[in-house]
Structure 1
């Protein structure tokens, strides 16, 4: 193992002699901070007393409810610019009993990448400075650092070759590290699968502080990091992805329908045709206030799209006048923001003006017309509510559920993301969401009621910790909703690579230790 540049020899020798054993009784925040001071450039470490600490902390917070006095804040924030900095932070944390949480874009819906819902001492490794995207035009591959956003990834790919793209999420300020770790659904998944289906290598710092690639980490760990959720197995620094070919011109449309103008009929039909359309076409639906917005990406021309829509979904009355033809890169900007300014894809701006809460579901059996009518009625109760429904099917449905940790494949019609927004007191709004989610229980998958780990929701359960290790049975409450039959394999991988549960948060994978099953 190569020695880290500038790393204390005395520290490294004593560290290795203890074989990286997790010793909670030796936890020392002072010792941890001193270790960081000795082994990292000072400008990369922000302690709570630093004048820049709050600025760095807020830089990637996406939800103001996690920036309050009731949120447990990190002891410090490490902003590495090199893999060796991450290795040093992990080794310091292991020796001094301080766990690390990892943030790439800060979009974790429960803020667990930079805050704790429990009272504990922890540090944050913020990967925002690790954001390089390197495209190999001859291989049609790219290495992308975890701190890069999807917008930066899209922009760099297309500027290297406008006929190349990548299947990933709609929101362009998401850090790819967290996004990929949960699967990464998006508008091209019916054609090309999830982001994780295109990951062909990765670089990870494990709980021992070792830097591993795919060959070094082995098949099981490589499987686990591609959809098994963030902060469970190590810190993934970068991902090698296989790029996909896109047409020179794609077509998008946004068609809004008032909720009282036949929307119930449209949704009843959409849930059947959306997952079965040609995999070049994805139509998602956003319901909010008094409107349902049908938003599409078609990997082809407007004329061809119009023919398909007249044949398969005439009820929507889509015409060529609804078409917007553009490059794939422009479509990424358009679907995210409604305009084609591709330079905006490079923005990492955040806002702390609006509070949000999210939940998720998967639908495997078509919802009746009468039930859709009742669902739409809920939106007349609260203008702050929104649901986003994204069709599955196509190529995505051909991939076995156990191929990656993301199991929501064959048989899924669509997934639902529930969102509410508020300012000030959000009690009424969050109560509406909780009641609506309960109401939807009879219309969605069950045993388990499936959920998407990238729409993290602590309401469905949190880890149970016994003797400083998360228990396998305690994690089942939420783990099987996110991962279904893959939960046990993920826990087995965790036991093999991090049995002391160093990388841990309220919904990290617990180790399946001997005698627990």
Structure 2
């Protein structure tokens, strides 16, 4: 009998695979037919659909995959990509995906660290918001409307071409999509002065699971609260955001001071932890630790780049830093006076370019990487920092970095439950770390290395829960099931991103998407 059972296994596998294949094919065909039937003009919908047999399919799919870890032959591919041109295309994609049992992944900039905006283990379609990228800046009222498919660089450019004294507090990587960035919180070099991008969202347009287009008034304050930091592709599809702009001086000052192991970097970094969060709100600082070539031939060392942005001129900055942080040794030659928009490019590593580069969605290199994040509430002792440095010098890795972004300032003044993003008061800084490799290498050793670093830093990071930043998504901290996921199971990762706000997010989800149509490996489930 055992032999008979064993002999049946290959047959059962063949039958199962054929059933899955036919089911996918049926869903695929039915989905396409549904899109055409719901379109008032079938020729219009045909122009925005890219099937796997379309010659442009791969180029459209790969154009904005920012982590090349997910450009491989074995990476799951969507059945269809829909590059919507109008709201009705979005509404039809939701309706037809729901009707025919397909998951929907929503892509704006493609920077999702785990690829969840364009990868799924179950049959899925990608809704690409590339054409929803309008930016309208109202200088008089200090507001802007920006569509989710725009990049933050396109928003910055729209502001900078009209004024030098208004800005928006979001990230420095100008190719990041507005939709994902805002819906996860969004921080940048104005965090200590003005807080997060999501703190400054004052209205939005959202397509819900039933295809209705809602603004702040019609969606209600609970849903409006949830989309400002509660994660994209969870509550609906945000089409556009109305944001309040912030004031900046026409001239700001930036600086970089590099220190390595031979220059007492550990002691300087140790001291920075006690100072950075207490500096005046007009001064933002961060530190980027990397592995670099030593002055000694054939050897490596660890370098820390201490960077800063001061909302004012260099003559005020120098005495301030010399008084508060003399160990850094800041001098005038380390500094540059720029406009605010130019300072974004400086921190983004493209400072030699004109502002037009902000409109180039493919201007930055696309690495292959794995990243993690932490929040640090007590200074790491010198011995702990030395442990980080020694791990950076291990031979198995070469492309590694750790960034420490000082908090304090405005982040101390906003309540944890003001929006879903909870990581406010009590944090000295946010730490994020990344390991990169060349596509085709054995990624296992690199991922193992960063997991060991994460484990080592557990001694010094926040606890109960060990907090993490949603926009630096990390599936290692927990995932949903392919099918039903309980609130309790999702809380394993959910509380790390959202702390006590996770329960309210699940309650909102229950109200607006009770059947959990908008879902992924780390989306909020209904309560």
Identify whether the pair has TM-score above 0.5, normalized to the shorter chain: yes
Partners in 1 of 2:363 and 2:485 — Cα distance?
Answer: 33
Q: CA deviation at 1:27?
A: 8.2
Residue 175 of structure 2 contacts residue 364 of structure 2 at CA under 8 Å; is this kept in 1?
no
Q: CA–CA distance in 2 between the matches of 1:330 and 1:365?
A: 33
Distance 1:496 1:170 in 2: 35
**1:166 shift after superposition:** 0.4
Match of 1:74 in 2: 78
Match of 1:426 in 2: 443
Whether 2:375 is the aligned partner of 1:373: answer no
Do 2:277 and 2:409's aligned partners in 1 also have CA atoms closer than 8 Å? Answer: yes
Contact 1:26 1:97 in 2 (8 A): no
Q: Does 1:441 align with 2:434?
A: no
Q: List alignment gaps of at least 5 residues for structure 1.
A: 1-23, 513-517
- Label 1:25 to 1:46 Cα distance change in 2 as closer, same or farther (>3 A): closer
Aligned partner of 2:32 in structure 1 is 33
For residues 197 and 80 of structure 1, the distance between their equivalents in structure 2, rounded to whole angstroms, comes to 28
Aligned partner of 1:296 in structure 2 is 308
Residue of structure 1 equivalent to 2:340: 328
**In structure 2, distance between residues paired with 1:396 and 1:47:** 45
Q: What is the Cα deviation at residue 228 of structure 1? A: 0.5
Aligned pairs for 1:92-107 within 5 A: 92-107=96-111
1:88-487 to 2 correspondence within 5 Å?
88-116=92-120, 118=121, 120-289=122-291, 290-340=302-352, 341-349=354-362, 354-381=367-394, 382-423=397-438, 424-465=441-482, 468-487=483-502
Query: What's the offset of the Cα at 1:394?
Result: 0.2
Range 327-336 or range 64-73, more displaced: 64-73
1:7: which partner in 2? none
The Cα RMSD (Å) is 1.7
More displaced 10-residue stretch of structure 1: 68-77 or 211-220: 68-77
- Could you tell me how far 1:332 is from its partner in structure 2? 1.1
For structure 1, which segment, 36-45 or 402-411, has the greater mean C-alpha deviation from structure 2 after superposition? 36-45
Q: Is the partner of 2:304 in helix, strand or coil?
A: strand
- 1:151-185 CA-to-partner distances (Å, cap 9, x unmatched) read 11111111111211000001110001000010001
Q: Are positions 1:510 and 2:518 aligned together?
A: no
1:499 aligns with 514
Query: Take 1:489 and 1:184, find their aligned partners in 2: how far apart are those partners?
Result: 20
Any gaps of 5 or more consecutive residues in structure 2? Answer: 1-22, 292-301
- Asked if the contact 1:27–1:97 (Cα under 8 Å) also holds between the matched residues in 2, the reply is no
Query: In the TM superposition, what is the alpha-carbon distance from 1:310 to its structure 2 partner?
Result: 0.8
Q: Please, which moves more after superposition, 400-409 or 379-388?
A: 379-388
**Cα drift, residue 426 of structure 1:** 2.8
Aligned length: 485
User: Which range moves more in the overlay, 221-230 or 34-43?
Assistant: 34-43
Return the offset for 1:93. 1.6
CA drift of 1:338 comes to 4.3
Question: In 2, are the aligned partners of 1:191 and 1:394 still within 8 Å (CA)?
Answer: yes
In 2, the alpha carbon distance for the partners of 1:339 and 1:192 equals 23
3-state SS of paired residue (1:143): strand
TM-score normalised by structure 2 residue count: 0.90
- Say which SS state the counterpart of residue 518 (structure 2) adopts: coil
Secondary structure of 1:134's match? Answer: strand
Residues of 1 paired with 2:423 and 2:48: CA distance? 39
Deviation at 1:41, TM superposition (A): 2.0
Q: CA deviation at 1:324?
A: 0.2
Q: What is the Cα deviation at residue 507 of structure 1?
A: 0.5
Measured against aligned partners, the alpha-carbon deviations of 1:413-453 in whole angstroms (never above 9, x if no partner) come to: 10111101101223332221111111110010011000000
Post-superposition shift, 1:352?
Answer: 7.8
